[in-house]
Amino acid sequence: MSNQQTNASLNPTLVKLTDVFKTFNAGTVNEVRPMQGVNLTITEGSFVIVLGGNGSGKSTLLNAIAGSFPIDNGTIELDGQDVTQWPEHKRAILIGRVFQNPFSGTAPSMSILDNFSLAAKRGKFRGLSWAHSSKLQDELKDRVSELKMGLENRLDTAIGSLSGGQRQALTLLMATWLKPKLLLLDEHTAALDPKSADQVIALTDQIIAKEKLTTLMVTHSMQQAINLGDRIIMMHKGNVLHDVNANEKQRLRVDDLLSRFENVRRRELLDESVADLLRLRYI
């Protein structure tokens, strides 16, 4: 009993989704239902990988937690607070984000320094104090030189002139500049070449481990899913299909994941063909 209690206090719940529904373009031919009653609990300190095919609702899950749109039904709790009604910019106090598109996470025409001065105030009040404080500049130089990308002497360069890999690495650094309660990574290496993707993944792993960040990471890469994180959830048609916990995950190989997806695909194909047969016969 006492053992259970200590376990619970060691790993309190950070994110809790209860019966979350979301439909886009309801009632039109473009209707999409990326969330069909999603229930999900994430404990503090865990690194969760989200897998799923196109349109399975994995990116929508992240955007719903971040507050990019209001959900139709259900509740979202973050850090013990009901944030369902909170606008996106208010939730930013708790959340750091990196997007799939390297253009999304940074202000292209502004300098590296400008961008980090914004990141240094994530979720905080922005007043009339000087944005480029010398403290920020010194700290930034140190942290950026750790990236070994040669950017530490180019802090006045417009961030839009950098490569996708450099921008994603910087965005990751920006998202975690102030330690977020929750880090959301939405296929943040999908738009990069393999070498840059590996660099960014290595950096991701390093930062998450060092800061002990609770992370939710969407990926297409089975290899990333196997190598990173301590839990995998597989999304399908707007719901959590499989939930692989830490113990199970250690024994998991790429082939196992692929076969799970294959099972889903077969079931789908069967459904389709049966539907076609029925259609032929009865319509």
Partner 1 sequence: MTLLIGALTLGIILSLLALGVYISYRIFDIADISVDGSITFGAAVCSVLLVQMGVHPLWATLAGFLSGAIAGTVSGILQTHFKINPLLSGILVMTGLYSVNLHVMGRSNIPFLGTVTLSTYCEKLGNIVFGGNETLLLGWTVSTTDLMTLILMFLLVSSISLVLWLFFHTDLGTAMRASGDNPQMIRALGGNVEYYKIFGLALSNGLVGLAGALWAQYQNFADVQMGIGMVVWGLASVIIGEALAGTASVGTAIIGTIIGSILFRQLVAIALSFGLNPNDLKLITALFVFAALILPNMLSKLSVGKRKEAL
Minimum distance, C-beta of residue 168 to partner 1, in the bound complex (Å): 13
Q: CA-to-CA distance for 4 and 222, rounded, in angstroms?
A: 33
Out of 122, 188, 231, 236, name the contact with partner 1 by CB under 8 A: 122
Q: Which of 103, 45, 55 is CA-nearest to residue 220? A: 55
Q: Which residues contact 227 (CB under 8 A, 6 or more apart)?
A: none
End-to-end CA distance of the chain: 61
Minimum distance, C-beta of residue 97 to partner 1, in the bound complex (Å): 5
Minimum distance, C-beta of residue 165 to partner 1, in the bound complex (Å): 18
Please say which residue, 21 or 103, places its beta carbon nearer to partner 1.
103
Please say which residue, 67 or 238, places its beta carbon nearer to partner 1.
67
For the record, the structure tokens of 190 come out as 């999908």
Per-residue mark of binding to partner 1, 205-224 (x: CB under 8 A): --------------------
Please say which residue, 50 or 183, places its beta carbon nearer to partner 1.
183
Minimum distance, C-beta of residue 71 to partner 1, in the bound complex (Å): 17
92 in contact with partner 1 (CB under 8 A): yes
Q: Which of 239, 231, 210 is CA-nearest to residue 14? A: 231
Query: Quick check: 190 and 220 in contact, CB under 8 A?
Result: yes
Out of 119, 140, 183, 234, name the contact with partner 1 by CB under 8 A: 119
Q: CA-to-CA distance for 56 and 35, rounded, in angstroms?
A: 8
The interface region with partner 1, picked from 104-112, 141-149, 212-220, 272-280 by CB under 8 A, is 104-112
Minimum distance, C-beta of residue 36 to partner 1, in the bound complex (Å): 26
What secondary structure does DSSP assign to 206-246, as a single string? Answer: HHHHHHT-EEEEE-S-HHHHHHS-SEEEEEETTEEEEEE-H
Give residue 168's identity as a one-letter amino acid code: Q
Query: Quick check: 155 and 135 in contact, CB under 8 A?
Result: no
Out of 35, 99, 172, 199, name the contact with partner 1 by CB under 8 A: 99
Residues 125-184 that bind partner 1 (CB under 8 A): 126-132, 174-175
Residues 32-91 that bind partner 1 (CB under 8 A): 66, 87-90
Minimum distance, C-beta of residue 148 to partner 1, in the bound complex (Å): 25
Neighbours of 220 (CB within 10 A): 15
Q: Which residues contact 188 (CB under 8 A, 6 or more apart)?
A: 98, 99, 100, 168, 171, 172, 200, 204, 217
Residues in the site for partner 1, rule: CB under 8 A?
A: 66, 87-90, 92-93, 95, 97, 99, 103-110, 114-115, 117-119, 121-124, 126-132, 174-175
